[in-house]
Structure formats: C-alpha cells, structure tokens
Structure 1
C-alpha cells in the first residue's frame, strides 16, 4: 500500500540526522521493540545513522544492503513478477523490502523483529528503470499493522544529498509510526 502522505519534513527541518535517529531509538527502547533494515540506494546509511546512537544495540537487529535485484528477490523475498512489471524503484518493492528486513533479522528462540525499513530509489547519476534521479520510496513494516510505503519522494540535489534525505526521512517515518503506536497504546490504557 502506498501511503498518501509524502511529507518530506524530516528531510527539510533543522533537526539533525542524529536527532531523528536518537528519537527513533529512544521510542523503540521505550516500547521494547526492535528494527531491521533493508537498503538499496542508501547503501547502509540508515544502519549507520541508527548505530551512531549510543545504546542502539538494544533496539537495532541489523540489516541488508541489497543493491542487486537478485538479492532483493532471494534474501528479502521481493516478488520477481513485481520487479519484472514495475522495476525495483516502486512503493511495493520498498514495502516488501521492509517486510523482508523484519524476516531476515528475526531469529529462532527470540521475539521477532518488530519493525522493518526498506529504501529503494535513484540516487544518480543517471535514470534507472525509466525513473528519474531523486525518486525514492520508503517502506515501513511492523507487527500488527499493514505494511506501507511512502513516495514517490522527489529529493533534489546530488547523489549524496538524495541519499541523506532518504536516510533522514526513513528514520523520521519510523519515528512517526512509533509515536502513533505509543499514543494509541496510551489511549487504550486510559480507557
């Protein structure tokens, strides 16, 4: 499912990437939840941002950099028919990558990974699958809720600017989803 809201405020505010990552990790720890990541265009940037937060190991399980289409299919279980039809720069691919991130970072005899993040897009320098430079989709998967994708975002700038905007926005979306879940839990506890 593609989420209708493609607000890029996390990428454009004055808060730093470390601020966003720290808040996401704090909320994960508060909820006793965990996150796994599957990245394409960001090439480990989301994982690096998360692990820059002191104490992240209590909430971060790990992840996969899946540049190769075949890796998206074989390790993350992204539907080959979807990729054949739409290419890898697509909201449903991001959503399936997010779900795959949850799966590959869950292990036996442990509570499954609660959240998954998936990033796919075109950082440049050239178009890919007929999609323009700057087009990005971000997927978020979680236990007990429908997996969603946000996008297409159209991030401006060079390769590094597009990747940094994607990382910050992905962690901002995770943070926002965590806030909603925590607020909903507090409302249920009050009633």
Structure 2
C-alpha cells in the first residue's frame, strides 16, 4: 500500500519528499532537534518543495546545556549516561515537538531527535559512529539505535540524516495504517 515510486536506489531527497508527502496527506507537522547532524535533517526536509506545509522548525542543540535548557533533556540522565544515549534521543524528539508548537496552533505532531558521535574522538565513552535517533508522536516516543555508522565525520552525519528520515517515514506509514 505504498504511494511511492519503486526505486532501485534512493536518495536523501527521495526519502525527505516521501516524509513531507506523508505529513501533508495526514495534516501532520514535524519539529526537529539535532546534535551531531547540525541541521542536516532540517536542510533535507526543507529541500522538498512545499515543506512549509508540514515542517515547523527545529533547533541544533550541539552543546549539552542546550539539550537541557531548550529541550528539557533530563540533567540527571545526562550526568549518568552522557548525551549519546537512547533516552536522550527520545527526550530530544519530545522537546522538538514541544518547542515547535506555537500560539493557538495544534501541537506539533511528530518530533525527531539525533544524538551521536561523528568524531574525530570518542565522546562519553562512546565510539565514533555511535548514533541514536528519537521519534516522538502524540502516542509516545521511541529511540532507534545504537547505530554504528562507519566512515568519516561527514559520512556518519549523512548516514544519520538518512536513517532519521527513513525511520520517520516508517513511523508515518505505521500511523497511517493504524
């Protein structure tokens, strides 16, 4: 029951276009909170013509204190586990929904959070390439990972953006079928 073109290969723009189409067709919106991807998810989504109908905005919370103050990621969790953790990704996604809800508009439907280590060095005892992705919706949030993306800093970030949007697309399809 896919309304998408069958593809032998898929580009980031293909996945982002699918996400925007799914969001628009269900009158849903998305907000994003990014760390290691530094805005890459937002760039991909806004590369799709008509994205403004579904993409509301987001934040790059590269610094740990911003995850706590802007996104309400639990400081105790960060002190215990560090920022490269599945629950941090989930809380970032929830924070993305909250901070992009505005005025008298309905709450932002979906949130995406990315956290991980792009390198060059380990962080919080986690190896370069370790990534978690959070997806939040009105029915709850979940984390995906840990992923272990190989390659250069840029390759790890690109893989994270693609994986985050692919996971969001899967969750949107599940919600549509529910």
Same fold (TM over 0.5): yes
Alpha-carbon offset, residue 55 of structure 1: 0.2
Unaligned runs of 5+ in 1: 1-12, 185-191
Higher relative contact order (CA 8 A, sep 6+): 1
Deviations 1:14-66 (A, max 9, x none): 20000000000000000000000000000000000000000000000000000
Which of residues 13, 16, 34 in structure 2 aligns to 1:21?
16
Compute the RMSD of aligned alpha carbons.
0.8
2:164 match: 170
1:148 aligns with 2:142: yes
Instruction: Give the TM-score of the pair, scaled to structure 2.
Output: 0.95
- Equivalent residues in 2 for 1:62-81, closer than 5 Å: 62-81=57-76
Runs of 4+ aligned structure 1 residues displaced above 6 Å come to none
Residues 71-113 of structure 1 deviation map (CA, whole Å, 9 limit, x = unaligned):
0000100000000000000000000000000000001211110
* TM-score, length-scaled by structure 1: 0.88
Cα distance, 1:146 vs structure 2: 2.1
Aligned to 2:173: 179
* Structure 2 residue 91 is matched with structure 1 residue 96: yes
Q: Which residue of 2 aligns with 1:40?
A: 35
